[in-house]
Structures are given as structure tokens and as C-alpha cells.
Amino acid sequence: MDAILTILGRVLLNSTTILGAVLTALYIAGVWRLLVKSGLKGWWALIPCAREYQLSRCAGREPEGRIYSVADAVLILLSLQSYIIPLPKGSESFTSLQLLVLVLSIPLAFTRFIYGLRIWSGLLGVYALRKRWLWLCLISYTIWIPAVVLGFGKKYRPAWQVEDFRAEMERLARHGSASVMAEGLTVNLRERSAREFFQKKVLLRDINMSIPQGHMVLLLGGSGAGKTTFLNAVNGYEKADAEVVLNGSNMYKQYKKMQYEVGFVPQSEMMRGKDTVLNTLLDAARLRLPPDVPAAQRRARVDEVMDIFGLQPVKNNLVEKLSGGQKKRLSISMEFISNPSLFILDEPDSGLDGVMARELFEQLRKIADAGKIIIVITHTPDRVIDLFDDVIVLAKDSARTGRLAFYGSIEEARRFFDRQTMEQIVKAVNRKEEGGDGLADEFVLKFAEVQHG
């Protein structure tokens, strides 16, 4: 009986090994055909680690592909340790090194599993397959099925090809830039990049526009689209590979001079609660006005700004005693002291109700009408959209790089996106996993073609 059981066990083990090899071969064959359909070299399917990275490019999930490939490579290396350092003969206990390998392998395997699902979720979207197919990607014995179906099924075609899409983006990027205006703001941003995990990560690319004086502009984009990064590049706080010209002066080359021409109001309020409104603005005047401005002139400018923003009645009040709306107006006043030509505000209506927010934006509209350029980020744009002249829409493309999806008037934006509200426009360019429609690439290319003719 023992001999029979031993023979059956060996047959079962061999059958399992043969079945695993057959399923792996089917998976590789399906991935080969899938990569070819998406415009990549099929032989990448033969290389472990690189195989799923190339699939992530097809799926528009390249960042996930990098993480998956690293986790997969480390797991392969860890699995080799059992051959390099085997258990001592007659020993049934693990060595310290083997326990360490086991502890490291568990989170790596979990990471590989999660990011593998994200890659295949993206692939199903590119090939317009229903999400229920994702169940087949949960285990290695069935993942070959979607690979073979997508790879060899003639009716399944990708929504776009990797190399074609990138080539089209590069072709459009090579077309000119915005003409520099003598009066107004001109931005020709070629690239804004950073270092992440020893690799270059492009945050923004190919953003060109000219904003005339007297325009109030809304800056839209989903989370991670690069709105704050774009504003920091425009005001010179974080330099990019760009040319930023305000009223004929280069922001980067003449930064010391231009710092008085730009006012930036961050979302967080940086004011001392124990100071009065007057002293807060006097301190701001000493910091933001050129050092050669006389004290009497600084005080006159403070009184002028308090009149503009309705702060004269509370000038002797402590900052901590002000209402939410008054604190917002004081925060804006601090930057407006220098009478900037360009005024940038990051969610100035945060925490305000509809009436107070409306009053604040009406005040900003008056400032724009006086010949200033106002650029505003707000998460509730539709309640004050009638006060804006133009809208900038930034979106993450399939490589997770912030791109310009639109710049123009509010009515032009509605026609371009075929949507009536600004919230619907943001939803259109947001990725599907972020609750959007996943149309960023489509609109980025469409606007580039419109912009460059």
C-alpha cells in the first residue's frame, strides 16, 4: 500500500508540474500577442519582471508596473536562497536567514498581487472588457484565460497603442509655444521634473499659454494633476524648464525684482492670532514692500488695502477674534500689500459658506477689473463660475504626467468638453479609479491639435 501511495503521489506531482508548465506557456503566448496588439515587441513576454512592466504600459499603469517588477525581482532573488543556503541535513528548523526571507516575502508577494490586479484592471479597460474578467486574474491557474482571449481574440483591439500614443504626444509637443505678450502673463513650460527613487519623474510637460491683463482665471484639475506644482513654477518658487514672462519681465532671470509683482495666498493661513489686524498688515508691508519705501508710505498702503477689503472697522481686533471670512480677507490683504500684477490664490474660499465665498470672489473680480491677473484654485467653482474669464484644465496623462487639457474661455470649455459644469469637466479628465471618466489622454491630444492647428 505504501508503494502504491508513493507512486500515485509522484504521478500527481508530475501532472501538476506539467499542467503548470502548459498554463505558463499559454500565458506567455497570450501576453506576446497582447503586447504586439498594443504596439510593443512581443518577445518581452519571455522575460520575467519585464513582462508585467510592458503590460502596465499597455494598460496606462506604468507606475504600478515599476512597483510590480521590483517586487517580483526581489521575490525571485529571495526564492533562490533555498538553493544557495539549503537546510542542514537532518534539520527541520529554519535558520535565522530563512526566517528573514520568509518575513520579507509575505509583504512583497502581497504587493505583487495587488499591483498585478491594478495592471490587469487597466488592461481590461483598454480592451473594453467587463470588470468581472478580473476574477480570472486572482490566481495563476486562470490568469492565462484573459491573456489568451485578449491576445488571440480578433474582436478585441486596444483603445490606443503605446508607441503611437507617445509618438503623437511628442509630435504635438514639438510645435511652437505661446507668443510672449508685452502686457500680461506668458507661460511656456517645457518640463517640470523631480527625482523619485533614483529615477526622473516628470511632473508637468508642454504647458503653453498667454493670459491678458484684467483676466480672472480658474485653475482646474483632479488630485495629483499638478495644479500647485504649476503655480509654484509660475511664481518662481520652484523653477522649471520654462520661460515665464510677466509684463515683459522674465520671472526667473529677474526674480528679485519680480517677487514684488506676484502675490501668492496659500490654502493655510499663516497669521499670529495675538496680533491685531493693523499690526499684521504693517508687518506684511515691511516684508513685501521694497526696503526703501518710507514708513509713512507703507502706512498709507496698509490703510488703502484695509479699505479695499473692508477691514477698517476691525483693524484693532485680534486676528484670533475674526470671523472665517475676515481671516480670509486679511490673508489676501497681506499679499495684496505689494500691489502685485499677478495674484495667485489656492482655495481662498476653503471653509466659507456660499454667501461669504461669493463676496470674496466678487472682491477678486474687482481686483482683476483694475488690470490685475488673478489665478484661483477652488474645489467649488460652479457657484462663482460667472465671475471668471477663462479656465485652465490640467490632467494626468497615461504616464501620470500633468498636461494641459484646455485653456480658454468658460463657454469654449463647455463646448470643448461637451459638459456644462466645471465639476463635470474635472470628472471627464480624472482617472476611472479616482471616480472619473478616464478621458485625460483624449482631451490632452485634442487640445494640442486645436492649439497647434
For cell 459658506, the residue is 353
Of 255, 257, 212, give the one whose Cα is nearest residue 233.
255
Strand partners, 262: 342
pLDDT for the residue numbered 5? 45
Question: How many Å apart are CA 172 and CA 427, to the nearest integer?
Answer: 24
**CA distances from residue 156 to 24, 30, 118 in whole angstroms, order as listed:** 22, 12, 20
From first to last of its 453 residues, what are the pLDDT tens digits of the chain? Answer: 444 445 444 544 455 677 778 888 888 898 899 888 888 888 888 888 888 888 888 887 877 888 888 888 888 887 776 655 555 555 555 566 667 777 778 888 888 888 888 888 888 888 888 888 888 888 877 888 888 888 888 888 887 667 555 555 555 555 557 777 778 899 998 888 776 554 567 788 888 999 999 999 999 987 778 898 899 888 888 888 888 888 888 888 887 778 778 888 877 767 777 788 888 888 888 888 888 888 888 888 888 888 888 888 888 888 888 887 788 888 888 888 888 889 998 888 777 777 888 888 888 998 899 889 999 998 888 989 999 999 999 998 877 788 999 999 999 999 999 999 999 999 998 887 777 888 888 888 888 877 766
Domains of the chain: 2-159 (no CATH), 168-261+340-452 (3.40.50.300)
HSE value, Cβ hemisphere, 13 Å, CA-based, for 121? 13
- Which pTM was predicted? 0.69
Task: Return the H-helix or E-strand segment holding 448.
Answer: helix 440-452
pLDDT for the residue numbered 13? 45
pLDDT for the residue numbered 11? 45
pLDDT for the residue numbered 453? 60
pLDDT for the residue numbered 8? 44
Task: Return the H-helix or E-strand segment holding 332.
Answer: helix 324-336
Of 379, 398, 83, 370, give the one whose Cα is nearest residue 216.
370
Count Cβ neighbours within 10 Å for each residue of 262-277 and write b for 16 or more, e otherwise.
bbbbeeebebeeeebb
Question: How many Å apart are CA 104 and CA 106, to the nearest integer?
Answer: 6
Integer Rg of the chain from CA: 29
pLDDT for the residue numbered 415? 93
User: Sheet containing 262-265: which strands, arranged edge to edge?
Assistant: 249-250, 241-246, 185-196, 199-211, 402-409, 390-396, 216-220, 373-377, 342-346, 262-265
For cell 509713512, the residue is 296
Q: Phi/psi of residue 148, each to 5°?
A: -70, -40
